Homo-oligomer: A and B are copies of this chain.
């Protein structure tokens, strides 16, 4: 079966990091077939939708997707919906996997190696809101099925990765039924993994402890919104958004997605950091294509490049996006 990747650059620096990261990936997978597809704000302005049907079809067909970054309007625009949120849901990518590591030369503190596993399809992201102009409500929906599913993924990844502990994040003191359900479903799943320790933290305490000692965490398992907040927070200790990688993982598809946005302030100058996109592809290699050796050599090459003092301006270097990727290619250890 042929390996295919649906390549969605999106807007802004998405268009700069994605082609470069794909260039590196091609060296690892010479037979990879790529299909480019449109999404984002420019797409919305041209086609009236931020996620055209053709893009969704291509993504489904490929299974594997690289999603760069998209711009979004500051104020609601009729007909506009976040394409990444839609894509996650449409492709059934129920878990959002976000590692934070101490990378050399990134300014990250030493000894951080944590993984946030974020539920990716429900919570306040279901988009069920109402308003009469003076009172607005939004629905936070938590199901046992989705909570179990993402917990399964968290414990499986913990086990496969030789990790020791999963921390369930919630606010069940205030939301005993919704967050309580998430917590209880996760605890049920935990029972099947007796060799992995499990504990829990309120989301406010989790933020505090993450800031005080990110080294103390192993796997964090969280509902959608808390996972969103905590993974950005963790990125602050792992070298910033320029290096923060993620993988949206399901059973039918997986979307590699750098956590950063389209960064209009630096777009067009060819200096965006491709590390987040490269490490997101490494996650795709490891967890979707089941190529751990290739994933490791890509990660190793990125590490070596950074350790050699090569970096884009966000990390204090002067390398361009392309020059950084050239340096990574030189350091790829392929047999």
Q: Is A304 an interface residue (CB 8 A)?
A: no
Contact B178 A207 (CB under 8 A): no
Of A2-10, A59-67, A233-241, A295-303, the one touching chain B? A233-241
The B-contacting residues of A in range 117-166, CB under 8 angstroms, are 124-125, 127, 129-131, 133-145
The CA-CA distance from A76 to B172 in the complex, in Å, is 8
Smallest CB separation, A264 vs chain B (Å): 14
Contacts of A205 in B (CB 8 A): 232
Contact B233 A176 (CB under 8 A): no
Contact B176 A76 (CB under 8 A): yes
Q: Is A196 an interface residue (CB 8 A)?
A: no
The B-contacting residues of A in range 161-216, CB under 8 angstroms, are 171-178, 180-181, 203-205, 207-209, 211-212
Contact B82 A175 (CB under 8 A): no
The CA-CA distance from A176 to B231 in the complex, in Å, is 22
Contact B139 A139 (CB under 8 A): yes
Smallest CB separation, A243 vs chain B (Å): 13
- Chain A 230-259 near chain B by CB (<8 Å), digits 1 or 0: 111101110011000000000000000000
The CA-CA distance from A240 to B127 in the complex, in Å, is 36
Specify the chain B residue showing the minimal Cβ separation from A76: B176
Q: Is A267 an interface residue (CB 8 A)?
A: no
Contacts of A209 in B (CB 8 A): 236
- Looking at chain A, what size class is its interface with the partner chain? 35 or more
Q: Is A262 an interface residue (CB 8 A)?
A: no
Contacts of A42 in B (CB 8 A): none
Smallest CB separation, A265 vs chain B (Å): 13
Point out the residue from B173, B178, B180, B230 that lies within 8 Å of A82, measured CB to CB: B173
Smallest CB separation, A220 vs chain B (Å): 14
Q: Is A266 an interface residue (CB 8 A)?
A: no
Specify the chain B residue showing the minimal Cβ separation from A205: B232
Smallest CB separation, A84 vs chain B (Å): 11
Contact A208 B181 (CB under 8 A): no
Q: Is A225 an interface residue (CB 8 A)?
A: yes
Contacts of A212 in B (CB 8 A): 236, 240
Q: Is A229 an interface residue (CB 8 A)?
A: yes
Contacts of A113 in B (CB 8 A): none
